[in-house]
Amino acid sequence: MRHLNAVILLMLLAGAAVADADRQVRSKEMLLAYYDDPQNHATVTVHQYRTATIVEVCADVCDAFAAKAKVGDSTFWDAIFLFKAVISRSADDEQFGVKNSNAAKALLKDVVQSGVCRQDDDDRSTALCFMQSLSHRIGLEHAEVNYDEGNRCAVYRSFDSEQKAIRSKCTKVKQ
């Protein structure tokens, strides 16, 4: 009987992992399909470190997302997807949001059903709630990045409705 229970538990865990992988693929694939396209003059750069992952998405503006998560973490990709589709106000991101509005609504529904955030009349508020919860859970950070005269300057922003600047940092870009 114990053996059967163990087998059933393993099957359930495997099914959950497959479902999680499917969800990750959607967010990650939709982001890469739109932003990692030379025709859109956009790029996605992923840096995987031992204790953190940084994903930088550049189109008309550059956004960097950092988390104490592995690059395969679907929650991390879902957060980037919701930021670009729902929260950001840049022209390219608004087009991305329109193109992927059904997927964004489905993902927001998942967020509400998981109990992380309550449904708000404004999808942006629900998405910001999700980002705030991830900032505590996986150390999620967002920065607007500007490249100028050999420097990379990042302005880190909060996940509240005003997205206030928290701190900034400039570094020389390695050639």
Determine the structural domain holding residue 150 and report its residue range.
Answer: 2-172
Assess whether pLDDT exceeds 50 at residue 15.
Answer: no
Measure the CA–CA gap between 78 and 145, rounded to whole angstroms.
Answer: 20
Mean pLDDT for 21-46 is 81
Report how far apart the first and last C-alpha atoms of the chain are (Å, whole number).
62
Assess whether pLDDT exceeds 80 at residue 69.
Answer: no
Mean pLDDT for 84-98 is 93
Measure the CA–CA gap between 132 and 58, rounded to whole angstroms.
Answer: 22
Measure the CA–CA gap between 111 and 24, rounded to whole angstroms.
Answer: 14
Assess whether pLDDT exceeds 70 at residue 35.
Answer: yes
Give every CB contact of residue 151 below 8 A, 6+ residues apart in sequence: 170, 171, 172, 173
Mean pLDDT for 23-32 is 79
pTM over 0.95, yes/no: no
Domains in the chain: how many in total?
1
The rounded mean pLDDT for the chain is 83
